[in-house]
Amino acid sequence: MSYSDASLQHGMNQLPKTESSATASTVQSPIHILLLDQHTVVREGLRLLLETRFGFKVVGEAGQSQPAVELAAALKPDIILLELNLDGELNADIIPALLRAARNAHIILLTGLSEQPLLQLAVQMGVMGVVSKNHSGAVLAKAIQKVHAGEVWIDRTMMADVLATLTRARLNEQADPEAARIATLSDRERQVITLIGEGLKNREIANRLSISEVTVRHHLTSIYSKLGVADRLELTIYAYRNGLAALPT
């Protein structure tokens, strides 16, 4: 595969003298960033901002899920800056795939969304930072530095909601582990499981749900992880046993 859009050129930009000492240290050892957003102009603007003003190194970029995961595996970035709009639809299921592909990377959502359930789900899946597009470039740079250092960067109100959700999930898991796993499934994932139970293949599922086959594969990857099943057969059996799909008549 060609990574023509990965922009692997080495070297780093010098910061203006007005930048802080914390940012200056980034120039000496630049943080490597992978940009994931479906809009080319957004990626170009972010690259210019992050490299020219703050001295980070953008090592690659992608606008679709499959090349995004492939680039994460090939480039092993420090930070993955992600907007959940790849493939033209909101899809948090790419998060576990990215984390498996680049195990040492930390994910930051750069988003214009305000839907708390989706953002909470993203954090529960392993996102360590959430930055609103309404914030300044300086805030984004600070979030990148903090997350790269192993800290979490999330709005206080959202953090309180996430902690409350996780607490309830732990209590539910103690009472009924299977119910707790099933509760983590999104509505779209439940639809995919139902169609798997009907014996549909990926292309047929994609056509039925008006999504791409790539998105179906990402949904399945997330489902396998959430339910602790290894393959399509185990998922089908699990779905029948737990009422997620109707037994064939």
| pLDDT per residue as tens, the chain (249 positions) | 434 343 333 333 333 433 443 443 344 579 999 999 999 999 999 999 999 999 999 999 999 989 999 999 999 999 999 998 887 777 778 898 999 999 999 999 998 876 667 777 788 788 999 988 888 999 999 999 999 998 888 866 566 666 666 656 555 555 567 887 888 898 899 999 999 988 899 999 999 999 999 999 999 999 999 999 988 888 988 888 888 988 765
pLDDT score at 3: 40
Largest Cα–Cα distance in the chain? 73
Nearest-angstrom CA–CA distance, 159 and 120: 8
Q: What local confidence, expressed as pLDDT, does residue 162 receive?
A: 62
| pLDDT score of 11 | 35
Query: What pLDDT score does 199 carry?
Result: 87
What is the C-alpha to C-alpha distance for residues 82 and 110, in angstroms, rounded to an integer?
6
Structure tokens of 69?
């995961």
Burial of 192 (0-12, 13-18, 19+ CB in 10 A): buried
Report how far residue 140's alpha carbon sits from residue 19's, in angstroms, rounded to the nearest whole number.
Answer: 14
pLDDT given at position 15: 37
Domains and CATH numbers, the chain: 21-157 (3.40.50.2300), 165-241 (3.40.50.2300)
What pLDDT score was predicted for residue 28? 59
| Residue 97 phi, psi dihedral angles, 5° rounding | -65, -40
Q: What's the gap between Cα 180 and its chain centre?
A: 22
